[in-house]
Amino acid sequence: MSKELDPQAATLIQKAIEAGNPEIHELEPLEARRFFAETSKAVAVEKRDVGQVSEHNIPGPNGNIVVRAYWPSDDVGPFPVLVYFHGGGWVIGDLETHDPVCRWLSVRAQCVVVSVDYRMGPENKFPAAVEDCLAATEWAATPGCLINVDPTRIAVGGDSAGGNLAAVVAQKCINNPQIELCYQLLIYPATDLTRAEASQTELSEGYRLTGVLMDWFIDHYLNNDGERTNPDASPLFAKEVFGLPPALIITAGFDPLRDEGLRYSEKLTAADVEVKYLCYEGMIHGFMSMGGWLDKGKEALDLSGDCLADAFSKVEVLGKNKS
């Protein structure tokens, strides 16, 4: 790992310190959501123009789920689909905080992005988020659910807690006859909620995502500590990962989640899953959502979109393999 923090990331951390804002773990969840929503705007990548945006209420396991769909242009499809789960520790974040990211990926990958407003803790604890994300993926894979989309070219993705949910959903789709995923986009995913990896200790202070904040998130998400090793909470603990779709796994050198992202890539590789793994050495957790401040955030967004486009191109419209 690089010994030096990227200068832009170092400046961002210093400005956050000088602002004197409260720490997220010091706030109640509702306050934390408002604070995160407001501070996210200051560092978010610019919003790219897309062809169309629509919101839908779709059936979920415990009432309707709101999803927001982005079309990359006004061209007639069918477009491939990325079902995207936002980050925020399963407690904060929403459709608005990740709107710029979804727009960027839609345009870069030339796909429809379906962003999911899944239930969060502590009001709705594990496995509510998993259930909603799986339901949204099943909906997106249903022919006719959206106009001008090809549900045979479908991927899942997310950042941080969303990367965790994407990995879990991908595992649950292995034997799901309704869904055949062609890709998974895992951006600094949380894969081991036991927090046993070395980077969880080495980088537990000073880089925005702290050990205290990680425990705050996990305590609000899980019902008890015994669930930390449940594969639906910690996908690294899954016994079977054979048959998963190809994956892009991105980590950051100064992120407590770095090592578990690497370990998950190694687990998939050992199961003959095609994996592209990349660690942005000088970056911190959440950098892809900070593309308005961090150049590497835009770079990672572009890479993610390009890898998605490549994966979609390998599956012909209507799901027939290219010769």
Where are the alpha helices (H) located in 187-276, listed in sequence order? 198-202, 211-221, 258-270
Looking from the CA of 194 toward its CB, the CA atoms found within 13 Å total 12
255 is catalytic: yes
CA 47 – CA 101 distance, rounded (Å): 8
Catalytic site residue from 160, 199, 289, 304: 160
Catalytic site residue from 86, 255, 265, 304: 255
313 is catalytic: no
Contact 89, 161 (CB under 8 A): yes
CA 237 – CA 251 distance, rounded (Å): 19
Quick one: residue 318, left, alpha or beta (phi over 0 = left, psi -120 to 50 = alpha)? Answer: left
DSSP assignment of 12-73? HHHHHHHHTPPPGGGS-HHHHHHHHHHHHHHHPPPPPP-SEEEEEEEEEBTEEEEEEEEESS
94 is catalytic: no
Residue 11 backbone phi and psi in degrees, to 5: -65, -40
Q: Is 143 helix (H, G, I), strand (E, B) or coil?
A: coil
Catalytic site residue from 192, 285, 289, 304: 285
Q: Active-site positions? A: 160, 255, 285
